[in-house]
Amino acid sequence: MATAEEGVSVRRVHSTYAAEMAKTLERTYTEVRQLEKIPAHKQLTIHFKNVSAWVVDIVSLQMQKNMIGMKKAGAGDAPPAQKQILTNLSGHVAPGEVLALMGPSGGGKTSLLSAIAGRAKFVKSEGVITFNGQELTKSIKRRVGFVMQDDLLFESLTVYESCYYAAMLRCPRTMTHQEKLDRVQTVLNALGLNKCKNTLIGGFMRRGISGGERKRVSIGHELLINPSALFLDEPTSGLDATTALKLVHTLRSLAQTGRSVITTIHQPSSRMYQELDKLLLLSEGRAIYMGDAQAASKWFEQVGYKIPYGINVADFLLDLASGDIAADESSTGTFFADKWDAYLLDGKVDERERLRRENMGFQARRGGQQGGVLGLLSGLGGWEGGAGGGAESDPSDSALGATLGREVSQVDTEAGFPKEDKTRTGASWPAQVGYLTQRFMKVRRFESLGMQRFLQLIVVGLLTGLFWWQRGGATDSLGISDVGGLLFFEMLFMAFAALFAALFTFPQEFRLMVKERASGMYRMSSFYIARIAADLPLDCLYPTLFVLIIYTFGGLRPEAGAFFANWGTIILLLLTAQSIGLFLGAAMMNPKSAQTVATILMLAFMLTGGFYVAGIPSWIAWVKYLGFIYYGWNILLYVEYNGRQIESWPEGFPALEDLKPGRDLGILFAMLIFSRICIYYVLRKKTSS
């Protein structure tokens, strides 16, 4: 009796769990339904046919270089430096469908997804990728959302702030400000993010939202533009099974609103797999199945790969694609497609349904079955133009393609699909600068307004002022030498701090900038100007406090004009040093390498600046003219001692009558402007490549 009661209790628990999960998924569907449906004339049907791609093989490239000097010794040829990663992949996804790209790691899932979305740069690529029969244009690209595997978000922004700035920058400029705010709230509600909208995104060093919420925020960024197609790279990576299921169900609900969804999934659970409409199974860049996800198990059973009872279909398919499963010897080797064609010929489905099912991959290459996965690659890969195989394609493929092409053309014409919309969407250029400046200031609020940097400058300023307490009034050579050291340190400390802090600016933000630029969020010029404008207030605030302490404690020239000239020179030197740091960081994108170069440059400029070494050999003395320290120190000396009664001038210091502050200021301004232009040029080159 106890056993029976326990069994009833377990069944009740299972029933309750299933009911609660069903309610959760239904609630997800209801939330997503708050988003706008994609009208028929904006829906996208995506076709890709015979897509192949090659990348540079670094090892083979190095071997080729090494073989050049070995040709005379009779060495053989090195392997080709290009490695093929995608081979004749074909398929399509229509509005309302979720196409999953599955396969083992290194199978080509991300490469294919990036190629279809126009986000990949290959050494060589082939194939045809169309959206409603057209190639990917800028107007179509603005209607496509792309979610990367890594959640590239600003850690210092809240969920609402992150979506707010994305909406202000990406939503059509025809929308009013209130309409954009309503869109943000709708997306937050649809993705279940309203409860955490005021929580920081967070990251490794700062506590924030959960992994599942981060992924939904990334998806929300793309939903703000109400995309007709959505591409996602490993959206379930790092999530637990339940959270991943909810996310995949969200994607299914998004597809049901008229969107075409393509996603890569590494290893879905059985419940997640049931949410998929179509499946493209990849192995080493080749397709071994393309079709209805729910029919895959029956199809593989007919070709000799029966899935054992109780085994997750997705796990079995991944093992199969990895080459870990051999063919069932009891199989007759008859393809499921043969039986399916016979079923079609019986007239049990109409022609349109036959074409749809054929295009979903239910047909396969006729012929004998070879053992193992290689047999599948050569025998099954030939659908739609010979994907993965080298033999001729079925004659029905060309007829199928022509029929589909006519249908797509008719749909496009009837729906009024525009050939090319050259009108720019998103915020205007001034609005981009404004919103980006606000965003950068909020991103840096914890870093810039933190107590660490404030205390650093205050403590160093106080110590410096105490060490040089009231030495500014000295007019003898020893006293002037001490004051020269104070001015040199004042300049050097701020320049070093600004330069080495700037080295990390663009390397930290580069990937996010590339992602946002690829989605057309803003222009490079607006990003660059906003980045500079956001730094200026705090770049001037802290140096002002530092200069004020040193000037007062050090007893420097007690005149308002001299103080502001000293302060202005320090700010100019700081911005020039910062420019060098930004340039090195942008050019190298590796902070360690940039630090090495910056250290060498700063030491060279510092030692030749005129304070440490007086009699520099003429053959190396020209180095001082390349650095800003030489010109800055000359200006500071002139400001402090011009027009004052001097008892004796220190030997080795530049003669006061030889100082030309106007020339030095002009050179510093020229350095500043030239370096800022170089930074912009480097960023454009980096993002374009």
223 vs 400, which has greater pLDDT?
223
**Mean pLDDT across the stretch 99-105?**
89
448 vs 165, which has greater pLDDT?
165
Cα dihedral sign, 250-252-258-264: positive
**What is the identity of the amino acid at 624?**
K
474 Cβ partners below 8 Å, 6+ apart? 480, 482, 483
- Concatenated DSSP letters of 352-402: HHHHHHIIIII----SPPPSHHHHHHHHTTTHHHHTT--SPPPHHHHHHHH
The total of other beta-carbon atoms located within 10 Å of residue 485's CB is 15
At residue 434, the pLDDT reads 92
At residue 99, the pLDDT reads 92
> Using one digit for the tens of pLDDT, what is the confidence trace for 440-493?
888 887 776 667 778 888 898 899 888 888 887 777 888 888 888 888 898 889
Q: Which of 664, 499, 509 is nearest to 579 (CA)?
A: 499
At residue 1, the pLDDT reads 44
Band the pLDDT of 501: cuts 50, 70, 90.
confident
Q: Which of 400, 546, 509, 548 is nearest to 156 (CA)?
A: 509
Band the pLDDT of 13: cuts 50, 70, 90.
very low
For the cut 80, the answer to whether the pLDDT of residue 496 exceeds it is yes
Tell me the C-alpha distance between 14 and 141, whole Å: 45
**What is the identity of the amino acid at 390?**
G
Q: Which of 111, 57, 115, 96 is nearest to 282 (CA)?
A: 111
For the cut 50, the answer to whether the pLDDT of residue 679 exceeds it is yes
| Range in 43-57, 62-76, 402-416, 649-663 with the lowest mean pLDDT | 402-416
For the chain, counts of helices (H) and of strands (E): 27, 9
Which position has the token pair 């996010």? 512
- H or E stretch covering 281: strand 278-283
Give the distance from CA 15 to its chain's centroid.
43
Tell me the C-alpha distance between 595 and 666, whole Å: 28
> Using one digit for the tens of pLDDT, what is the confidence trace for 336-358?
333 333 333 333 334 334 434 44
Question: Contact at 8 Å (CB) between 193 and 250?
Answer: no
Band the pLDDT of 530: cuts 50, 70, 90.
very high
The burial class, CB within 10 Å (0-12 / 13-18 / 19+), for 183 is: buried
Band the pLDDT of 383: cuts 50, 70, 90.
very low
At residue 380, the pLDDT reads 41
Tell me, letter by letter, the H, E, C secondary structure of 458-518.
HHHHHHHHHHCCCCCCCCCHHHHHHHHHHHHHHHHHHHHHHHHHHCCHHHHHHHHHHHHHH
At residue 154, the pLDDT reads 87
Which position has the token pair 């930290």? 508
Band the pLDDT of 145: cuts 50, 70, 90.
confident
**Mean pLDDT across the stretch 64-81?**
55
> Using one digit for the tens of pLDDT, what is the confidence trace for 215-228?
888 888 888 888 88
- Concatenated DSSP letters of 126-176: EEEEEETTB---HHHHTTEEEE-SS----TTSBHHHHHHHHHHHHS-TTS-
The two three-digit tokens of residue 52, written as one number: 């192949």
For the cut 90, the answer to whether the pLDDT of residue 268 exceeds it is no
Cα torsion 536, 152, 84, 304 to 10°: value is 180
Tell me the C-alpha distance between 235 and 377, whole Å: 27
Cα dihedral sign, 547-553-555-560: positive
The two three-digit tokens of residue 182, written as one number: 């309503």
> Using one digit for the tens of pLDDT, what is the confidence trace for 21-42?
555 555 555 566 667 788 888 8
The two three-digit tokens of residue 329, written as one number: 């010897």
pLDDT over 70, % of the chain? 76
Question: Contact at 8 Å (CB) between 255 and 268?
Answer: no
Give the distance from CA 618 to its chain's centroid.
49
Question: Contact at 8 Å (CB) between 538 and 448?
Answer: yes
Maximum CA extent, the chain? 114
Tell me the C-alpha distance between 506 and 510, whole Å: 5
Cα dihedral sign, 501-211-144-295: positive
The fold of the 40-65+77-143+227-415 domain, in CATH, is Rossmann fold (3.40.50)
At residue 325, the pLDDT reads 67
201 vs 6, which has greater pLDDT?
201
Q: Which of 420, 331, 338, 428 is nearest to 375 (CA)?
A: 331
> Using one digit for the tens of pLDDT, what is the confidence trace for 550-570?
988 988 888 888 899 999 999
> Using one digit for the tens of pLDDT, what is the confidence trace for 113-128?
988 988 877 778 888 9
102 vs 303, which has greater pLDDT?
102
At residue 424, the pLDDT reads 52
> What are the start and end residues of each CATH 3.40.50.300 domain in the chain?
40-65+77-143+227-415
- H or E stretch covering 24: helix 2-32
For the cut 80, the answer to whether the pLDDT of residue 576 exceeds it is yes
pLDDT over 90, % of the chain? 15
The two three-digit tokens of residue 570, written as one number: 């320090």
